């Protein structure tokens, strides 16, 4: 009795599972296994991930045909690439066919080396034929702007290609004379269709930017061949600090019409020396990974006249005290700059001066304190201390003497703090203890510490 029951149950089970298996096969053939790309879902609708992948694929095929020297510059995609292996595996499981390029954002951005591409309108035509809608954003060529000419030619700065409400941004990188790559801000014209793209979400274009030349590697991401920066985290770091300020050529020219540039041989010689010195300083501090910016008169020179104030006789730079390293003096000495004086200490009012040929380099260390930033000054013969107070600022790139160099982004506030509202009028007699608008008396160093805190060589 028991034996018969078991056999019957077994047969019934086999019958049931066979029916279920047949049903599965039927269902699969009828609903799932439609012709077309396998990533299509059963209803034939594309998911957002599919759209992103297909759009990028289509774009990359076109870019390859027209030999666009591109690399992936999308912050979200590159972040996925740079994250640790564990996070990547997680994503691979969730989005097996598109784990890097499908970022969940309706944009993918690429950078284009404009100097390596002969502008080919055929590319845009072909893109249109493939169904892309196009928006080309142009701007004045800053490489042509100078004190002599202000009329830059219009050059392409960004391509936006739209397909299925999905945007590919192509950012043009131009090589500038300071040996860096520059990209322009994205400025919409009055007649631009503001619904063309989610402009606020774009990675590039809020400001102009400067980047070092990137080493690239060719790789396969989600089945597509694409170039990426070799050191992705380095690239992302640079991008976060890329904002670039163009010199105010127009205002500088007006200034120089009122106060013409001194073109005496001494003055030209001084500019040449400053250029050499600044390039050397940038080399030393970049190697030490210490950010610095143009300060005091050197900053004023860049801001007011896009050059060096020839009667200033020295070069001033600022460094945040948190970036101080004890090997800085040795690094300058090794590069042939001799220490001239050292005032103060790391905890208070540190200031270093070096000599290169007959040009003095002043390095002021800046201390952050609430909503102000200050640097100190010391009078060697009296031990008197001074304090120069600035509103807080962030750092931007700029170009001076064919060097990519930082300046405070809020340059006007910085210069006004230091030189007052009349910074636009040259002052030849300048007393560092009383002339600056932002100088404050700050006591006297205790005489017992002078030997330590006031070192003159």
Ligand X SMILES: *[C@@H]1O[C@H](CO)[C@@H](O)[C@H](O)[C@H]1NC(C)=O
Question: Contact positions toward ligand X, by CB under 6 A?
Answer: 231, 233-234, 237
CB of 284 to ligand X, least distance (A): 18
CB of 111 to ligand X, least distance (A): 18
Whichever of 237 and 457 has its CB closer to ligand X, that residue is 237
Whichever of 201 and 233 has its CB closer to ligand X, that residue is 233
Whichever of 215 and 452 has its CB closer to ligand X, that residue is 215
User: Is the Cβ–Cβ distance between 115 and 182 less than 8 Å?
Assistant: no
CB of 87 to ligand X, least distance (A): 18
The residues, any chain, with a CB within 8 Å of residue 147's CB and separated by 6 or more, are: 249, 252, 253, 256, 306, 307
CB of 237 to ligand X, least distance (A): 5
Whichever of 212 and 351 has its CB closer to ligand X, that residue is 212
The Cα 361–Cα 353 span in angstroms is 5
CA distances 250 to 22, 65, 146, 256, 269, Å, are 79, 42, 9, 10, 26
Whichever of 34 and 234 has its CB closer to ligand X, that residue is 234
DSSP 98-146: -SSS--SSSEEEEEEEGGG----HHHHHHHHHTT-EEEEEEEE-TTT-S
Whichever of 119 and 237 has its CB closer to ligand X, that residue is 237
Whichever of 82 and 379 has its CB closer to ligand X, that residue is 82
Q: H or E stretch including 187?
A: none
CB of 182 to ligand X, least distance (A): 20
CA distances 169 to 158, 305, 430, 439, Å, are 7, 35, 50, 47
3-state secondary structure of 457: coil
CB of 326 to ligand X, least distance (A): 21
User: Is the Cβ–Cβ distance between 377 and 279 less than 8 Å?
Assistant: no
- In 180-264, which residue ranges form alpha helices assigned H by DSSP? 232-240, 249-258
What are the tokens at 106? Answer: 């309706």
CB of 327 to ligand X, least distance (A): 18
Sign of torsion over alpha carbons 433, 436, 437, 438: negative
């Amino acid at each position: 009795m028991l034996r018969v029951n078991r056999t019957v149950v077994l047969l019934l089970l086999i019958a049931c599972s066979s029916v279920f298996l047949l049903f599965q096969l039927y269902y699969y053939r009828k609903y799932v296994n439609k012709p077309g790309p396998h990533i299509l879902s059963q209803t034939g609708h594309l998911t957002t991930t599919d759209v992103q992948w297909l759009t990028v694929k289509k774009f990359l095929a076109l870019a390859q045909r027209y030999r666009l020297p591109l690399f992936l510059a999308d912050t979200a995609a590159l972040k996925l690439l740079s994250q640790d292996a564990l996070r990547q595996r997680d994503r691979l499981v969730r989005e097996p066919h598109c784990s890097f390029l499908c970022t969940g954002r309706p944009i993918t951005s690429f950078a284009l080396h404009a100097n390596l591409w002969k502008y080919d309108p055929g590319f845009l035509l072909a893109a249109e034929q493939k169904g892309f809608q196009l928006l080309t954003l142009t701007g004045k060529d800053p490489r042509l702007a100078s004190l002599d000419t202000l009329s830059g030619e219009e050059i392409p700065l960004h391509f936006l290609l739209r397909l299925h409400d999905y945007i590919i941004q192509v950012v043009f990188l131009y090589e500038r004379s300071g040996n860096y790559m520059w990209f322009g801000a994205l400025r919409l014209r009055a007649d631009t269709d503001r619904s063309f793209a989610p402009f606020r979400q774009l990675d590039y274009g809020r400001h102009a930017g400067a980047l070092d030349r990137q080493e690239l590697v060719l790789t396969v991401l989600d089945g597509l061949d694409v170039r990426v920066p070799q050191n992705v985290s380095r690239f992302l770091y640079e991008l976060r600090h890329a904002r670039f300020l163009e010199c105010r050529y127009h205002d500088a020219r007006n200034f120089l019409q009122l106060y013409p540039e001194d073109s005496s041989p001494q003055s030209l010689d001084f500019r040449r020396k400053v250029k050499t010195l600044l390039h050397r300083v940038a080399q030393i501090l970049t190697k030490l990974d210490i950010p610095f910016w143009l300060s005091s008169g050197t900053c004023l020179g860049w801001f007011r006249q896009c050059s060096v104030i020839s009667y200033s006789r020295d070069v001033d730079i600022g460094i945040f005290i948190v970036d101080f390293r004890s090997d800085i003096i040795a690094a300058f000495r090794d590069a042939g700059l001799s220490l001239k004086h050292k005032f103060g200490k790391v905890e208070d009012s540190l200031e270093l001066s070096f000599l290169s040929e007959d040009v003095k380099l002043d390095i002021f260390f800046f201390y952050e304190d609430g909503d102000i930033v200050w640097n100190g000054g010391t009078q060697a013969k009296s031990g008197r201390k001074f304090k120069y107070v600035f509103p807080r600022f962030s750092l931007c790139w700029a170009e001076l003497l064919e060097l990519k160099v930082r300046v405070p982004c809020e340059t006007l506030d910085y210069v006004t703090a230091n030189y007052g509202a009349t910074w636009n009028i040259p002052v030849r007699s300048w007393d560092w203890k009383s002339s600056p608008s932002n100088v404050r008396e700050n006591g006297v160093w205790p005489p017992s510490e002078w030997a330590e805190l006031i070192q003159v060589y």
